Amino acid sequence: MACALIIMKVVYTPGNVPINLGDELGRGGEAVVYAGTHPTFRAIKIYSAVPEASLVQKLHILVDLASQRLSSFCAFPLSVVLDRPGGRVIGYAMPRGEVGLRPLHQLYGPRDRKEYFPDATWKFLVHMARNLAQAVALLHETGIVVGDLNPNNILAGPRGDLFIVDVDSFQVANATKVYRCTVGMPDFLAPELIGARLDAVDRTPAHDNFVLATLIFHLLNLGRHPFQGRWKSPEEFSYEFAISDHRFAYSSSAAARGIEPPPLTLDLTRMGGACAKLFERAFVGSISTRPTAKEWVTVLEALRDNMRVCAHIGTHTYLDDGLPCPWCQLEEKGAILFNFVAAVSASTGLDVEELWRRICLVDPPPQMQAITLAAASPDSAAIRFFATRRSSLTLAVIMAALCVNIAAWSSLFSTLIPSEVLAAAILVTGFVSFLSWATGPKLSVYENRLKQSIDARDQLLLHSERNAAARFEAKRLELKVLCDVLRNFPARRAAQVAKLTARARDLQLADYLDRYSIMRAFTGRLGIGKLAILLANGIDSAKEVSYERLVVIVGIGPAIAQQLVDWRTACESKFVFDLASGVPREQLARLDGNLFLESVRVEEQVRLGTIELEKITRDAVETKALTAEAILSARYRVEKARANLRAAKRGDKG
């Protein structure tokens, strides 16, 4: 019966909607979860055994309860699925958890977290705890008890998203019956359930609340179980005993119970008074004092919003309680609980984006309003200049013409005025007129004046408005480049770490292959003689095996060489690089140290640059009124000079 269900390729909703089963997404003790090829039904859980009637009824109740809201953080059943149209229920359809989701223990366990959530800070863990509390609060509001709340069933995503799976194990009730949650994990079980048969008790929200507090504690104390501590009594450890005896290892009353917090853990006090109180109520108190999911939401939000960033390591965030960074203190004792990140802005605790944001906040220098000048009218001198020059020239020309005519007409006029006198008078007038035309102010004077005024105006503009804007832009660009340098630190670090890691991997692989002894693997497969030849040539483990090296050895033919190489390949395929012990700590520390020093220098440049940027604008604002006036008058002078020149040339009056 079990096998028949697994080879199924298509399943159907009760409304006969076919859903194709895609890749396997996961598998548990009692079912396999497949991807579903339907926009709504994106994940399908198929039971290994035909579900009992009561489970089917429970699924129907869950389907009725399903809502957009619940489906957003739970793999809530959206429909039962049948093996054929009108057939029997063999599973259910649900929304699919996004890729990148990982079981909660991979988030709270430091070793896994450093690998799978490399940037997660304590603030992120608190945020996640808050989201978990919120999820449980919503389920309780809906009348659901989770029951088997545990770190396998809660999936966490890198953006703080949360997804609870195994929803068919939730406890739900209708008017006539409670559909129980029949399982639990011994380390995630309320004291009153210890020793109970879980398929024989009704679960309550209070049971969930105990486990919720336990999970929140794991998130806040980096994977530590609240009941795991140093115990003094000689008896063996057991969760059953520790939990039912309220041996909360971090409690202010822990010593009286013969237990103390484990080494290399966060003190309860560093989680804030409100949080500590809730933990005491949850773990040392009774059912009646146990905090609800809602209470946790409030307290965790307050904690999350009251954090500071360590001055030395950017991934260290902690409660802003005026005490030194607890993660640095633990690091000094040898526990590296967060990935190193070059503390890009260690001196202030600001990050690059914060620096850049500050730069963007600096207003550019004010722009001068574009005032349209009324057209300037020319000076009377310019107009007179034109008139004088014109009349002088005209007079001279007339007089010259007269002189010529007089010569011709002299006989006629000579009777009236003696012609010599007349001619002399005309000559003098004409000469004077010519003289005044030739020696009076020249047009080039007006041209020069215009040129000078334009120069003066441009000079002024350059030193004020346009210049301030240009200087501002140039400085800003410089700062942007510096910020990009800062932004690039993680990538540069990653690249250098990758280089170190590759080197470490090679070393580790060699070490690993060295453990595969040829003697051990090939005794019986190769004759003693051949083995002796190999040993004599310094080849005694998989590390030394390479085809080139082997074929040249007398007595080792290509066949044996190939056999050994295949073996080496097989050994190598089992090699798993251990990242954690990969790159030696000192190398990382040196790398981070260098990056740190450099980042401090660059950051200082950014900081000073930002101050300069602000100064450019401030200066521009302060001198704006003065400058505006000066510019206006310079522009006016240009207009005036232009009008004068025009007038002087053609007599335009503007």
In whole angstroms, the minimum distance from the beta carbon of 66 to ligand ATP comes to 13
Closest CB to ligand ATP among 77 and 582? 77
Closest CB to other proteins among 40 and 182? 182
Give the residue carrying structure tokens 């914060």. Answer: 354
Site string for other proteins, 101-140 (x = CB under 8 A): -xx-xx--xxxx----------------------------
The listed partner (other proteins, ligand ATP, none) that binds 106, CB under 5 to 8 Å by sort, is: other proteins
Q: Which residues contact 214 (CB under 8 A, 6 or more apart)?
A: 187, 188, 225, 226, 282, 283
Closest CB to ligand ATP among 146 and 620? 146
The listed partner (other proteins, ligand ATP, none) that binds 223, CB under 5 to 8 Å by sort, is: other proteins
Closest CB to other proteins among 263 and 555? 263
The listed partner (other proteins, ligand ATP, none) that binds 187, CB under 5 to 8 Å by sort, is: other proteins
The listed partner (other proteins, ligand ATP, none) that binds 33, CB under 5 to 8 Å by sort, is: ligand ATP
Give the residue carrying structure tokens 């990148």. Answer: 100
Among 424, 438, 528, 580, binds other proteins (CB under 8 A): 580
Looking at residue 18, the DSSP 8-state letter turns out to be E
Contact residues: ligand ATP, CB under 6 A: 25-31, 33, 43, 45, 75, 94, 96-97, 152-153, 165-166
The listed partner (other proteins, ligand ATP, none) that binds 158, CB under 5 to 8 Å by sort, is: none
Closest CB to other proteins among 241 and 636? 241
H or E segment to which residue 610 belongs = helix 585-622
The listed partner (ligand ATP, other proteins, none) that binds 269, CB under 5 to 8 Å by sort, is: other proteins
Closest CB to other proteins among 223 and 365? 223
Does 515 contact other proteins by CB under 8 A? yes
Residue nearest to ligand ATP (CB): 28
Backbone CA torsion sign across 298, 299, 302, 304: negative
- State the amino acid at position 219 in one-letter form: L
Closest CB to ligand ATP among 43 and 647? 43
Among 25, 78, 128, 189, binds other proteins (CB under 8 A): 189
Closest CB to ligand ATP among 164 and 479? 164
In whole angstroms, the minimum distance from the beta carbon of 174 to other proteins comes to 23
Token pair listed for 571:
């050994």
Give the residue carrying structure tokens 């490399």. Answer: 118
In whole angstroms, the minimum distance from the beta carbon of 9 to other proteins comes to 25
d(Cα 181, Cα 55) in Å, to the nearest integer? Answer: 10
In 3D space, the residue among 177, 145, 19 whose CA is nearest the CA of residue 85 turns out to be 19
d(Cα 288, Cα 188) in Å, to the nearest integer? Answer: 19
Q: How many CB atoms lie within 10 A of CB 309?
A: 22
What number of chain residues touch other proteins (CB under 8 A)? 72
In 3D space, the residue among 57, 52, 53, 59 whose CA is nearest the CA of residue 79 turns out to be 59
CB 500 within 8 A of CB 494: no
Q: Burial letters for 531-542: b for 16+ Cβ neighbours within 10 Å, e otherwise?
A: bebbeebebbbb
d(Cα 229, Cα 79) in Å, to the nearest integer? Answer: 45
Stretch in the footprint of other proteins (CB under 8 A) among 59-67, 70-78, 532-540, 571-579: 571-579
CB 42 within 8 A of CB 71: no
Does 261 contact other proteins by CB under 8 A? yes
Closest CB to ligand ATP among 101 and 243? 101
d(Cα 424, Cα 441) in Å, to the nearest integer? Answer: 28
Closest CB to ligand ATP among 27 and 499? 27
Closest CB to other proteins among 118 and 186? 186
The listed partner (other proteins, ligand ATP, none) that binds 418, CB under 5 to 8 Å by sort, is: none
Stretch in the footprint of other proteins (CB under 8 A) among 50-58, 197-205, 492-500, 596-604: 197-205
Does 23 contact other proteins by CB under 8 A? no
Per CB under 8 A, contacts with other proteins among 221-260 are 222-225, 227-231, 236-237, 239-240, 242, 249-250, 252, 260
In whole angstroms, the minimum distance from the beta carbon of 538 to other proteins comes to 20
d(Cα 434, Cα 444) in Å, to the nearest integer? Answer: 19
- State the amino acid at position 129 in one-letter form: A
d(Cα 267, Cα 326) in Å, to the nearest integer? Answer: 9
CB 250 within 8 A of CB 268: yes
Does 650 contact other proteins by CB under 8 A? no
3-state secondary structure 385-400: HHHHHHHHHHHHHHHH
Does 295 contact other proteins by CB under 8 A? no
* Largest interatomic CA distance in the chain: 160
- State the amino acid at position 320 in one-letter form: D
Stretch in the footprint of other proteins (CB under 8 A) among 92-100, 327-335, 489-497, 500-508: 327-335
Task: List 103's β-bridge partners, or say none.
Answer: 155
Instruction: Supply φ then ψ for residue 92, to 5 degrees.
Output: -150, 160
The listed partner (ligand ATP, other proteins, none) that binds 365, CB under 5 to 8 Å by sort, is: none
Does 541 contact other proteins by CB under 8 A? no
Token pair listed for 302:
């307050």
Among 35, 198, 284, 328, binds other proteins (CB under 8 A): 198
Does 3 contact other proteins by CB under 8 A? no
The listed partner (other proteins, ligand ATP, none) that binds 548, CB under 5 to 8 Å by sort, is: none
Q: How far is CA 629 from CA 160, 360, 617, 618, 635, in A?
A: 57, 30, 18, 18, 10
Looking at residue 81, the DSSP 8-state letter turns out to be E
Does 332 contact other proteins by CB under 8 A? no
Q: Burial letters for 429-447: b for 16+ Cβ neighbours within 10 Å, e otherwise?
A: ebeebbebbeeeeeeeebe
In whole angstroms, the minimum distance from the beta carbon of 32 to ligand ATP comes to 7
Closest CB to ligand ATP among 181 and 550? 181
Give the residue carrying structure tokens 């545990």. Answer: 150
